[in-house]
Amino acid sequence: MQEDKRFESVLYAVSDRTRAVLQRLSPTVKANTCEIRMRKNLPLALTVGTETVFIRENGQTQFFLSGDLFKIGKADLEESFKRLCNNSVFDHENELSNGFIVMKNGSRAGVCGRFSKNGAIQDISSLNLRIAREFFGSANDILRNYQNSGLLIAGPPGSGKTTVLRDLVRQLSNGNTGRLRRVAVIDSRQEISGSSIGVASNDLGNNTDILITENKAKGIEIALRTMFPDIIAFDEIGTTEELKSVSESFCAGVSIITTAHIGNINELRTRSVTDQLLKSGAITQVALLPQIHGGKIRVFDTKELFCDTVI
């Protein structure tokens, strides 16, 4: 029932015609859908696990293309975009310049179209509504090997990095490793907490503080100065400013847990930001996620990553 509610929570952002079809889906499909993809003049599609699933008018699903699939028309896409923006594109200009909108439940909707020279998006061609889910225990492989220090959670897009980060924060905050830890979460897109108003709809534990800010580097600085955390956690490290803030946290004795997109473990050494992060000393472990949710997570000491034998 809870998973159905998560699915239903994003349907405010779709056209009436599209919603009617989506509501006909079976409870099992709803519970396992992580994305709803709407592309102009193309079939409505779901991401279920790692598979693409198409929908017929009657709500039945299939894994192959056919002539009787429900298609998203131009009017559907325009109506959905207006609802996603709550009829005010201006209020979401900053988010849209980065290709997404934060939805009411804290999930993120990807937006594609034509970007103008000033960064405004026009002629919307597709929308991707993401449904954030909690998977309690998804970080257990990490927790068994966690050294209570800096950790980088790495994996391909869609491998569940944010899901694992969320569960790890919850367990550390609740003292599942034997000690309650104060965790400050820097939530730049509200995906970790699942909230657009600063109140978490996802369970991040009883000893966690949440800072909602687009500027992660500034958020780390604020948390370090005012919240006195044991751990600072945030998603997707990507800038030199964030690296500087991480180094300051390390010097202050605060552990960092963050994530990074990589295709394989060796890419950590070829990407400038992650290479500098590993060499900074702030990260002592890397958790490598498999492509498929639920697979075993491999945990490395950072010193292993500078050996020629890492696979």
Strands 183-186 vs 61-62: parallel, antiparallel or unpaired: unpaired
User: Given this model, what pLDDT does residue 303 score?
Assistant: 81
- Domain identity same for 124 and 175: no
Q: Does residue 30 sit within a domain?
A: yes
* Cα radius of gyration (the chain): 20
- Domain identity same for 55 and 97: yes
- Domain identity same for 91 and 176: no
- Domain identity same for 96 and 239: no
Q: Does residue 218 sit within a domain?
A: yes
Residues of the chain falling short of pLDDT 70: 1-3, 119, 195-200, 292-294, 306-311
User: Among 79, 95, 130, which residue terminates a domain?
Assistant: 130
- Domain identity same for 176 and 27: no
Cα separation, 121 vs 147, in Å, equals: 44
- Domain identity same for 42 and 122: yes
Instruction: Count the neighbouring beta carbons within 10 Å of the beta carbon of residue 46.
Output: 23
- Domain identity same for 148 and 285: yes
pLDDT digits (tens, 9 = 90+) for 61-73: 999 999 999 999 9
Q: Does residue 155 sit within a domain?
A: yes
- Domain identity same for 296 and 151: yes
- Domain identity same for 146 and 179: yes
Cα separation, 238 vs 261, in Å, equals: 10
Q: Does residue 135 sit within a domain?
A: no
Question: Total structural domains in the chain?
Answer: 2
User: Among 130, 161, 193, which residue terminates a domain?
Assistant: 130
- Domain identity same for 17 and 110: yes
Q: What's the CATH number where 71 sits?
A: 3.30.450
Q: What's the CATH number where 257 sits?
A: 3.40.50.300
Strand boundaries in 23-115, DSSP class E: 33-39, 45-48, 51-55, 61-62, 100-102, 108-115
User: Given this model, what pLDDT does residue 218 score?
Assistant: 93
User: Given this model, what pLDDT does residue 294 score?
Assistant: 61
- Domain identity same for 125 and 152: no
Cα separation, 107 vs 148, in Å, equals: 29
Instruction: Count the neighbouring beta carbons within 10 Å of the beta carbon of residue 249.
Output: 22
Strands 33-39 vs 121-130: parallel, antiparallel or unpaired: antiparallel
Name the amino acid, one letter, at 250: F
User: Given this model, what pLDDT does residue 196 score?
Assistant: 52
User: Given this model, what pLDDT does residue 200 score?
Assistant: 65
Q: Does residue 311 sit within a domain?
A: no
Q: Does residue 291 sit within a domain?
A: yes
Q: Which domain holds residue 85?
A: 2-130
- Domain identity same for 123 and 153: no
User: Among 130, 158, 179, which residue terminates a domain?
Assistant: 130
User: Given this model, what pLDDT does residue 311 score?
Assistant: 46
